[in-house]
Structure 1
Amino acid sequence: MAQPTVFITGATSGFGLATARHFARQGYALIITGRREERLRTLTDELSEYTSVYHAQMDVRDAQQIQQVITDLPPAFRQIEVLVNNAGLALGASPADQAKLSDWHTMIDTNVTGLVNVTHALLPILKQQTKASIINLASIAANWAYPGSHVYGASKAFVAQFSRNLRSDFAGTGVRVTSLEPGLSESEFSLVRFEGDQGKYNAIYEQANPLQPEDIAEIIGWIAEQPAHININSLEVMPTSQAWDNFKVIKQDKFDIV
């Protein structure tokens, strides 16, 4: 009998990389995907010590490429039991009127369209399993507005609602769906958001004791390992240093904004 397999998007850094390492040590077969071939090869070499690993260079925005990757999977990797929709990004943190339209489009194409592409392509396989998990990486930005979040937060709200809608479609089946919603987390994700500005990156995390990719990977593993009759619908997680602190009254001449 083939090993249960986990399919991870965006596996070359951050949450995806930590998640691949976690599942490898738990004995799952791995399908790791991402846009950076060299990193995929390096990770494959590392994790092959623990388990069977198949890697595929893939851009989640390309539906045809995704379908080809799935078509080309060797038989030993076709029992996909866990899908981790991790690939995503944030670009910019300036007010909406200062944001680049191209950044907005890239976030929508990756965080929304990319997630839809991968999920739709893998549903026929996941539905065949006795127990399957779709774990979608949303964000606290899906639930709480904050300055500079604009399209990023809206895209993650889509992820959260899409997860709930999938959950409704598959109630009573073996397919579980979870929206995982992390708060302040330290990873390459934030360096991308600030266009490689190390100073801005350091300022956010200094003395904040943020979540680490390994923390999120442990939670993803815990969700997937729940008994078949349990579905974790959504899970919001923050470091203890963070709370809901953006709901401030801004004093203006004629009125208050609450």
Structure 2
Amino acid sequence: MWKFTIPYRWVFILAFVLGALMLIPFIGDLYLDFSPPAGQRAIASKLAKEADAFTLVDPGQAPAPIRDTVELGFHIMLDTPKYAPDYAGDQLSCTNCHFQGGNTTGGTNGSISLVGIAAVYPDYNERSKEVVSLAERIDGCFQRSMNGKPLPLNSPEMDAMLTYLHWISKDFPIYGQVPWRGLKEIRSTHTPDPANGKTIYAAKCAICHGNEGEGATRVPPLWGSGSFNDGAGMNKLETFAAFVYANMPYEDPGLTEEQALDVAAFVTQQPRPKFSK
């Protein structure tokens, strides 16, 4: 009768492979020790799932009675100097910090989302140390980031912006959690180096923003008379660095936290308009 036999060397090889497979779960546990804490991973996973599950609303799909107002607000966000020329004082538009008019779920290259923001105002403002309305918060941006003038509360522009922000926030409960609000804080303890930031800027940023930070068509100036003033949130090194880390270079963010801090140190040292009420 024919007998099937396995050479001894294959027995040893098979035993080795099976043993290695049995060790994989333990090796995985060892690697997990070097990843973020379980609680932090759970929170990050939860926020990612909430963003994936959320459906953004189209300004053009607003109900007929408010559609024109919502769309005007959206246009002001996208091209502020054109649609709010009496109040914008520089070459920036809201969408330069709030990509797609803020109608995103934030995160990497989603910039600073405004979806849900209307549901959490009035809110305490750390700068002024008081509770402010959404209209007051908008005016703060116009005076600082836009280096311009506040919108009158009864103006068509203010009405449009408020209506737009309420429309894109319509699915949030009042004072509910907005998981993607603001920017993710940089955790690096690196000491910002503006000299290295200048080198990184020349290599990674100047191609779009210009050698002198002057910007271009649809690209915001980062310093000089056409940029945000020194009272703007983006003139804070930590805010600028967090924005750059998550969003720049545009559509291909890839700087390290340390590089982002260095670039921020360089840019925030450059000349810009002075804030005055």
TM-score, length basis structure 2: 0.23
Larger radius of gyration: 2
Compare the two structures and name the one with the higher strand fraction: 1
TM-score, length basis structure 1: 0.24
Compare the two structures and name the one with the higher helix fraction: 2
